[in-house]
Structure 1
Amino acid sequence: MSFNQSWGFQTNLFETNIINLAVVIAVVIFFVGDAVQSLLAKRQESILTNLQQAEQRAAEMEQSYLDAKTKFQQASTEVVEISQQAQDSIQQQEKQYQTQIANDLQRLQEFQKSTIFYQQQKIQKQISQKIIDFALNKVNQKFQKKLIFPVQNSINKMCLEQLKQL
């Protein structure tokens, strides 16, 4: 047996490095390969889980956005409706106020007419009373001039009848 064919040191570096490298790679793949493969699988699973969660959050955000958009549209519609109702209510109030003012004005005019009528009647009664008083004074003056009693009586009756007719 020669020295090169037994176990020992090889002096050819190129052949020695390739063999050592192959042995190291084989050992690394055999022992570390499963661990690296397991780590890579876990990492892949983690990335997929994160992607699914991100997609789920994106879908939830999209749904939240659509819900908010729908609520905004509903609120906008309600604002328009409330505004329209307010305008209608204001117009209705104005009509009621105008009607109330017209009714109040009519009542005031009727009250004015009735007041004028009653004042006219009062003045007529006062004038009638003054005429009666004046007539009685005239009669008394004529009586004082010594008219006869039957003539005085007939004058008084005639004046009283005429006053009753007024």
Structure 2
Amino acid sequence: MFFSTSLFSTKTSVLVMAGHFGFNTNILETNVLNLAVVLAIVLTYVGDALRGLLENRKQTILANFREADQRATEAQDRLRQAQQELEQAKAKAQKIREQASVTIEQEKKQFVRQTQEDIKRLGILQQETLKFEQQKAQNELAQKLVKLALQQVREKLNQRLTSSIHSAVNNFQIVLFTNYKAS
């Protein structure tokens, strides 16, 4: 049961004109009229609040969009910067590879040159060692020959040396010694 004060209702207008209030029992009339009144009140009082909420929501959504755009722009900038750094890193890596190749080649040449110098030094050392060993062998041979010769001379002298030959040799040596001192 809805109470209606509308002037559009025939029964109500009759009742109001008569100075009495009554109930309208026509459900279709009263529902439409009540709905119109409720909607008017809702739109009047709640509409402003609803419009404010919708406006706030709209501003929040727009702020979120702006923030998302800003983050997207920042992400694009970071991506661009990362790509530049990647390109720089690639260029640096290529430069390092080239330098490594050059360095390896230089080290290889240096190693070959050093090895050749070592081989030359070893050859010279080998020749010097060979000469030294030859001289050592010659000296040993000369010493052995001299010992052998002296031994043979002693043996011959001991076999042939008589006292007269011994005196003659001693006298001869004394004369040589005297002549050596005088000069």
Q: TM-score if structure 2 supplies the norm length?
A: 0.63
Residue 154 (structure 2) pairs with residue 145 (structure 1): no
Q: CA deviation at 1:22?
A: 4.2
2:78 to 64, 70, 74: 64
Q: Larger radius of gyration, structure 1 or 2?
A: 2
TM-score norm. by structure 1 comes to 0.69
CA–CA separation in structure 1 for the residues paired with 2:100 and 2:160: 87
Cα distance, 1:138–1:49 mapped onto 2, change above 3 Å:
same
Residue 59 (structure 1) shift: 1.1
Residue 86 of structure 1 corresponds to which residue in structure 2? 100
**1:144-163 Cα distance to aligned partner (Å, 9 max, x none):** 3359546xx79xx9xxxxxx
2:51 is the alignment partner of 1:37: yes
* CA-CA distance at 1:46 after TM superposition: 1.0
1:108 equivalent in structure 2 = 122
- How many angstroms does 1:58 deviate by? 1.0
Separation (CA, whole Å) in 2 of partners of 1:85 and 1:126 = 59
| 1-structure distance, mates of 2:151, 2:56 | 136
Q: CA RMSD in A?
A: 3.3
Number of residue pairs matched? Answer: 151
Distance (Å, rounded) in 1 between the aligned partners of 2:132 and 2:27: 145
- Runs (5+) with no aligned partner, structure 2: 1-12, 177-183
Structure 1 letter corresponding to 2:95:
E
Per-residue CA deviations over 1:11-62 (Å, capped at 9, x if unaligned) read 8887766655544433232222211211111111111111111111111221
Q: Percent identity?
A: 36
State the shift of 1:112 in Å.
Answer: 0.9
State whether structure 2 residue 164 is matched by structure 1 residue 125.
no
Secondary structure in 2 aligned to 1:29?
helix
> In 2 relative to 1, CA 145–40 (structure 1 residues): closer, same or farther, beyond 3 Å?
same
CA distance in 1: counterparts of 2:140 and 2:89, whole angstroms: 74
User: 1: distance between equivalents of 2:96 and 2:34?
Assistant: 87
Which letter maps to 1:92? Q
* Aligned residue identity for 1:145: R
Report deviation, 1:132.
Answer: 2.8
Question: Matched residues in 1 for 2:146 and 2:31: separation?
Answer: 160
Q: Distance in 1 between matches of 2:115 and 2:55?
A: 88
Distance of aligned partners of 1:115 and 1:17 in 2 relative to their CA distance in 1, 3 Å threshold: closer
Alpha-carbon distance, 1:72 to partner: 2.2
Structure 1 gap segments, 5+ residues each: 158-166
Closer, same or farther: CA 141–15 of 1 in aligned 2, 3 Å: closer
- Looking at structure 1, the residues matched to 29 and 154 of structure 2 have their Cα atoms a distance apart, in angstroms, of 175
